[in-house]
Structure 1
Amino acid sequence: MFAAYVTVTIVAAVFTGSAAVTYLIGHDYPKAQLDMKRLPRSWGPVLGMLLAAGSLGLLAGFAVPLLGALAAAGLVLYFVGAFVAHLRVGSRQLVGPAVFFVVSVAALALNLSYHGPW
């Protein structure tokens, strides 16, 4: 159980951390995604910071399990919002948000099952 918890948490942190970097450096892909979803480009750095905070929170969860659970829950909510944003504009490109969502849910579930809910 411990190996699964550590592995999935690290994978989730790497996924969300790399997405955060693309938002924060101003890469073209996040800008295109914001345009496609009809969101202001000024939201890019904010979304990048949310992803970065989630990624760092997952890693901090190894020392403070409650922080890791809260970070994973925040990422789950973030990616629910990503699904809503895609569906709002009629986009059917849901594989990306689905992968991130599933990894975040797995990190949350494994954190809670390994450490307990409180």
Structure 2
Amino acid sequence: MVQLKGFVKPEDQIKIVRMCRQLGSGPGGFYKPSYKNGAKLNLWMMSLGKNWDLTTRSYGPTRPFDGAQAPVIPEAFKVIAQTANSTASGFPQINPDICIVNYYTNSGKLGLHQDKDESKSSLS
């Protein structure tokens, strides 16, 4: 793991949040995800590039519950990811095609966890 503390300046973080708010209020924007058993996550989620389906645990072109397409990843987000990746030496060049944006209310939280759904090829 490489931590790039202070990599994104506070003013750029504000711009990112504003872009996410704008994208999240449009088609394919924020929704409250739920599992097959109906349990809801304590957050609002939006996928950019491709949609994440909690029930199949895979990415696809549309959200199964409403058919919405994921908004396009803003070029500024791609540049940040590519620059961070190249700054963290030892990682191959990337072309980001998926971005998950989570929004938590004051009562929302995400506990320590590890996403194990990524294929080895997506991490190399």
Q: TM-score normalised to the size of structure 2?
A: 0.30
- Structure showing the higher helix proportion among its residues: 1
* Bigger radius of gyration among the two: 2
- Structure showing the higher strand proportion among its residues: 2
Higher relative contact order (CA 8 A, sep 6+): 1
